[in-house]
Amino acid sequence: MSPGIQKLLQSINSKSVAAPLIIVLLLGMMILPLPAIALDLLFTFNIALSILVLLIGLQTTKPLDFLSFPTVLLVTTMLRLSLNVASTRLVLTDGHSGPGAAGKVIEAFGHFLIGGNYTVGIVVFVILTIINFTVVTKGAGRIAEVGARFTLDAMPGKQMAIDADLNAGLINQEDARIRRSEISQEAEFYGAMDGASKYVRGDAIAGMMVIIINIVGGLIVGVLQHDLAFTDAVKNYTLLAIGDGLVAQIPSLVISIAAGVVVSRVANSQDIGTQLTGQLFSNPNVLNVTAGIIGGMGLIPGMPHVAFLGLATLLGALAYYINKNAKKVKPPDSIAQTSAENESIEASWDDVVGVDTLSLEVGFRLIPLVDINQGGDLLKKIKGLRKKFAQSVGFLSPSVHISDNLELKPSGYLIKIRGVAMANGESHTGRFLAINPGIVSAQIEGQITTDPAFGLPAVWIDEKLRDKAQGLGYTVVDASTVVATHLNHVIGQHAAELLGRQEVQHLIEILAKDSPKLVEDFIPKMIPLAVFQKILQNLLSESVPIRDLRTIVETISEFSGQTQDADELTSRVRIKMSRAIAQQLFPDSAEMSVISLENNLERLLIQSMLPSSQSTAIEPGLAQTLTRQAQQASQKQEQLGHTPVLVVPAQLRTTISRFLRRGIPNLRVLSHDELPDSKTIRVTNLIGTTS
């Protein structure tokens, strides 16, 4: 055999020629006359094929398991139409010979299903056609249409989910390609089902037209061409037409049901039969109630007692059987399956736990301080300090999340900001902390310690020594006040960190109620929200309240056209708020006792900060001298009862303030431009002089 012939035979044996071969056979059935025996075989095959398709549809776990179903719908529809054409040819050509002219299958359907009553046959055929056309096919088509629409709408989200899993390393490139292909196939499947359902509806209409044509055409052919009596013609051709219609419509109805089953199911790991039995007959309580209702209806006089009571008994027995099996221990396979399911549970975004912005953790001995039932008043004091903080600083601090921590000392506590420990201390329930402000006349007995908030010397004393300690000049506070004061101090120190984007947005909304025009074009046209937040944080980091938000916004609006730099705009705001800053530092004095820089040191620092200099960093030796002398001057100011304030040129203020803030947190740095005209300035200390 030549290679060319072998290649031709291989291509013929290939599955790829099956589809063209089927189309050729269908066209041949329409054109070429078929004998009655061939029609019997083809009608039987059509019925078997419809049952096969229905069973496959019932066994699928998701629509994509039967991806070729739209094509199957088209092929089975064309098969039925081809059989209708072939059977019509036989009915019209040989129908005068008797009911068996078109084959035994059509004759059997005509005699057996309609019992020889033509009216009954017509009614049954019309009912089947209406059910197929208006109920099953229309519903399946609508489900496919909606499914296609929803699938297309969900495609972008599914694609993003695949990309996210791929980027996270949960799947590889091949898995991503397969999942993308499935998404595309799902959309194409529902779209194809929507179109294929139109073929089935058209087939139902064609079936009704074919039966009418067969009856009318058969009467004409039988009476005029074969000289049959009208009654004989009616008997033969009506029987054949109805049998032909039924033998085509019943498989069509089965195929339509299969289409509805495939597109209406919700995909999971179970087939339709398992889903139905598992969900309809798995709850014994429901079965018992149903049995009671059916049994009650069966007791009504005139009702068919045997049918109702028999069904009620069956449902009750089924409920008893299910309830009895439910009490048994799970078989090993079920236990293994449950364990496997638990092991297969993957981490999800629900497992991500965010940190609290502000939290307080206490040891087990301090739990009574936060327990209202045990007389604890710490929660009340925390609410009070948050309110006071909001009134004095200008924004509401985040809520304090309080929890116990067994890893702490029994009387210890820990203050955290965004999960990071900022301060810790100890407080003893039932005892009092006597703090020495520096003016006590005598020492008192007790556990020597330091005040956790300000580091002052202190003593833990019993309650009976409280009055004595106050008489000696001590400041006496209870255990809950110690914790609340320390917490308030930490909140004040880290106010800039607690001012988040959400808090800034609240401040803008509050200002908008009183000054809507001021806020209308402020953000983001004049300045971004992030820059505005940075300006407020700059003020808070140097203990400048932001209560006067209107002045802050007006100043920023005035200079935002010149610069968008947060530090420069902060300096402008500080100058506008100079009186408020001075009043905060020297509330009851018309004179400001300040520290200043020696002229040579001032010029040296200015030169190092010039843009033309190669580095803006302070030389290490100079930095050490500056820090040491600033600390000494600050201590002298405090000993004199003055607030430590250092006055420097405007171009140095931001850098010097940030440099000295870590080592000397209580030292405030002002620029010459920030000194108000209403205060008299007196320099009491100089930094940079040689001693």
In the chain, what are the domain boundaries?
A: 19-141+192-268, 281-330, 358-496, 499-576, 590-691
Please give the structure tokens belonging to residue 261: 């089953």
pLDDT of residue 491: 94
First and final C-alpha spacing in the chain: 118
What pLDDT is stored for residue 269 in this prediction?
52
pLDDT band at 75 (very low <50, low <70, confident <90, very high): confident
User: What are the distances in angstroms from CA 152 to CA 19, 147, 148, 159, 341?
Assistant: 29, 8, 6, 11, 31
Query: 236-249 pLDDT, tens per residue?
Result: 777 777 777 777 77
Q: How high is the pLDDT of residue 270?
A: 57
Q: Could you tell me if 315 and 291 are in contact, meaning their C-beta atoms sit under 8 angstroms apart?
A: yes
- For 493, counting Cβ atoms within 10 Å of its Cβ (0-12 exposed, 13-18 middle, 19+ buried), the class is middle
- Give the whole-angstrom CA distance, residue 421 versus residue 400: 14
Task: Please report which confidence band the pLDDT of residue 111 belongs to, taking 50, 70 and 90 as the band edges.
Answer: low
**Across all residues in the chain, what is the average pLDDT?**
79
Distances 163 to 180, 183, 187, 215, 447 between C-alpha atoms, Å: 10, 13, 19, 62, 62
At which residue do the structure tokens 């116990």 appear? 404
The Cβ of residue 231 has, within 10 Å, a number of other Cβ atoms equal to 8
Of 358 and 202, which is predicted with more confidence?
Answer: 358
Beta carbons within 10 angstroms of residue 162's beta carbon: 20
Distance CA 42, CA 80 (A): 9
pLDDT digits (tens, 9 = 90+) for 125-163: 777 777 776 776 677 667 666 666 666 666 666 776 676
User: Cα–chain-centroid distance for residue 200?
Assistant: 41
From the list 579, 559, 561, 580, the residue with the least C-alpha distance to 570 is 559
pLDDT exceeds cutoff 90 at 94: no
Model confidence over 419-463: pLDDT tens digits? Answer: 999 999 999 999 999 999 888 888 999 999 999 998 899 999 999
Please tell me which residue, 18 or 173, carries the higher pLDDT value.
173
**CATH classification code of 499-576:** 1.10.8.540
In this prediction, residue 53 has a pLDDT band, given cuts at 50, 70 and 90, of confident
Per-residue pLDDT tens digits for 203-216:
667 767 777 777 77
pLDDT of residue 151: 65
pLDDT at 338 over 50: no
Indicate whether 382 pLDDT > 90: yes
**Beta-sheet pairing, 591-597 with 645-648:** parallel
Q: Which pLDDT tens digit goes with each residue over 298-335? A: 788 877 777 878 888 888 888 788 777 766 544 444 44
Indicate the DSSP class of residue 684: E
Asked whether 608 and 618 are in contact (CB, 8 A), the reply is: yes
Confidence of residue 42 (pLDDT cuts 50, 70, 90): confident
Residue 55 identity (one-letter amino acid): L
358 pLDDT above the threshold of 90: yes
- Binned at pLDDT 50, 70 and 90, residue 86 comes out as confident
- Dihedral of CA atoms 346, 347, 350, 356 in degrees, nearest 10, equals 160
Model confidence pLDDT, tens digit, residues 511-561: 998 888 888 888 888 999 999 999 999 999 999 999 999 999 999 999 998
Rounded Cα distance between 357 and 498, Å, is 7
pLDDT value of residue 688: 81
With beta carbons less than 8 A apart as the criterion, state whether 200 and 77 touch: yes
Q: Which CATH superfamily is domain 590-691 in?
A: FHIPEP family, domain 4 (3.40.50.12790)
- pLDDT over 90 (residue 390): yes
pTM score, two decimals? 0.52
Q: Quick one: fold of 358-496?
A: Glutaredoxin (3.40.30)
Which range is least confidently modeled, 68-72, 390-394, 507-511, 646-650? 68-72
Q: Are 670 and 645 in contact (CB under 8 A)?
A: yes
Instruction: Please report the pLDDT score of residue 411 as a whole number.
Output: 93
pLDDT tens-digit series, residues 153-192:
666 667 766 766 666 556 777 777 887 777 777 767 767 7
Mean pLDDT of 619-624: 80
Confidence grade of residue 645 (pLDDT, cut at 50, 70, 90): very high
493, 525 Cβ separation under 8 angstroms: no
Among residues 644, 613, 614, the alpha carbon closest in space to that of 630 is found at: 644
- Tell me what pLDDT residue 494 has: 93
Q: What pLDDT, on the 0 to 100 scale, is given for residue 329?
A: 43
- Per-residue pLDDT, averaged over 368-382, amounts to 88
Q: Comparing 358-496 with 499-576, is the CATH topology the same?
A: no
- Does pLDDT of 336 surpass 60? no
User: What are residue 666's phi and psi, to 5 degrees?
Assistant: -85, 0
* Per-residue pLDDT tens digits for 579-616: 999 998 888 888 899 999 988 888 888 887 765 544 45
